[in-house]
Every structure is written in C-alpha cells, then in structure tokens.
Amino acid sequence: MSILDKFRLDGRVAIVTGASSGLGVAFAKGLAEAGADVVLAARRVERLEGTAELVREAGRRALVVRADVARPEDCRGIAQAAAEFGQVGVLVNNAGVASAVPASKETPEQFRGVLDVNLHGAYWMAQAAAAVMTGGGSIINVSSVLGLVSGGLPQAAYSASKAGLLGLTRDLAQQWTGRKGIRVNAIAPGYFASEMTDQYPDGYLESHISRMPMGRVGDPEELAAAVVFLASPAGGYVTGATFVVDGGVTLGG
C-alpha cells in the first residue's frame, strides 16, 4: 500500500452530522472523494439533498437521514440506518449551534440548548456509532479554537461546549481505542467562512485576520483534508489528539 493509498476510505460508510450546510458539506464531499459512502444527517433534511448530490458526483452513495442529535433516539436511528447501508467506519460529529449572549443575561434554556447539541449530541452520537462500528473505526469531534482561546465575543455556552468536546475526546479514546479499535480525535478549526460565521457582527472576521500568521481565513477543503487524514488508515496511530487547524490563531501573537 502506498502512502496515498493510506488516505483511501473505500468500502467504508462515514456518518456526517450537521451535513446540510457549511463545513459539514465540505466534510461529506471530502470523505466521498476519499472513497467512502456517506450518511448525511441534519434537522433540515431538505437541504441535505444538495450535499447528497455532491457525494454522488464523487461516485459514492449517499443516504439522507433527518435527525436532531440532541435526541438520543435520533442518534440511534442514524447509526442503525448507517449500519444497514454498509460497514460503518467513520463518524464526524459536526452538528453544532452557536450563541453570543452576555453571561449576565444568558438564560438556562439558552445555555442548555447549546450544550444539548454541541456536547451532549456528540456524546449520544458517539455512543450510537460505536455500537455499530463492529470492525473498529474513527470518530472525529468538531471542536473549535474557542474551546482553547477567547474569541472576543460573549460566547460562554459555545466555548464551554467546545472545550467539553476536547475532554470527551480524550476520555472516549482512552476507553475505546484498545477495547473496540475505535480511534477518537478532535479538530479545532479556526476561522472558516460558514453559515455560522455569517451570523457574526460586520467586520468581526476581518478584525481577527491580524491574529492569524497565515493572514487569511481558512478554506473548508483544508479542514476536510484533516478530517480525511484522521478518518483513514493514514491516521492509524493517532488517537485522543486535538488537531488545531487555525492559521496560527492560537499562537497568541
């Protein structure tokens, strides 16, 4: 097997949550180009069809599942549908929501709503996927640099959820890598243009470019490449790690 062959995912089924827009679309497309069939899950099922078409254009099969990862029963439904589709080998826990509410004003419902999707949903989905990864596999939790550093906006719930994902990643890796053959890693993206960043105040992204040694926001394909590495045999000796893909934001310059 050549080095390039190690990045292939032929014969595997990958699950991508939050696949209806933004980075989820890039992840699904990248995994399909690496050879995986892809199960696409999101609440907005009508928008998943566009992602499914990209997967099919790459020559792979796509399955669309309407689900809310905050509901454990929905996560089990995604995993069961994926297992019927083929050999599940990859989960990308990408579903997420953001909020920017001052801590003195954030309600319990607002705070819990973010954690229910970003952290709890990733846990329920990991549990469900691990149960059907009978041949081992790779789970990739999509965290954020805001789980490591401050972004300058009042984002207590979002930052807490993304920091929590890093701890969850380490613990699941410790529990499952040796016993189940499931590697568990996280990526911590910096600033990438997406539907989520469209909600930022005018000029917010531009103001952060000065913090980036790369001098630009990221291209979603650059992040998808990191996901393919962690999902594939190329990343076979990596578990419990956090891959920071941020153009240098966390250097602190």
**Nearest one of 61, 4, 50 to 24, comparing CA atoms:** 50
Tell me, yes or no, if 158 is annotated catalytic. Answer: yes
Which run of H or E residues covers position 158? Answer: helix 156-180
HSE on the CB side for 241, CA within 13 Å?
15
Which run of H or E residues covers position 84? Answer: helix 72-85
| The residue count for the chain | 253
**Nearest one of 96, 92, 100 to 12, comparing CA atoms:** 92
Q: Which residues contact residue 183 at a Cβ distance below 8 angstroms, ignoring those fewer than 6 apart?
A: 136, 137, 138, 139, 173, 177, 230, 235, 236, 238, 239
- Of 158, 191, 200, 204, the active-site residue reads 158
Name the residues annotated as catalytic.
158
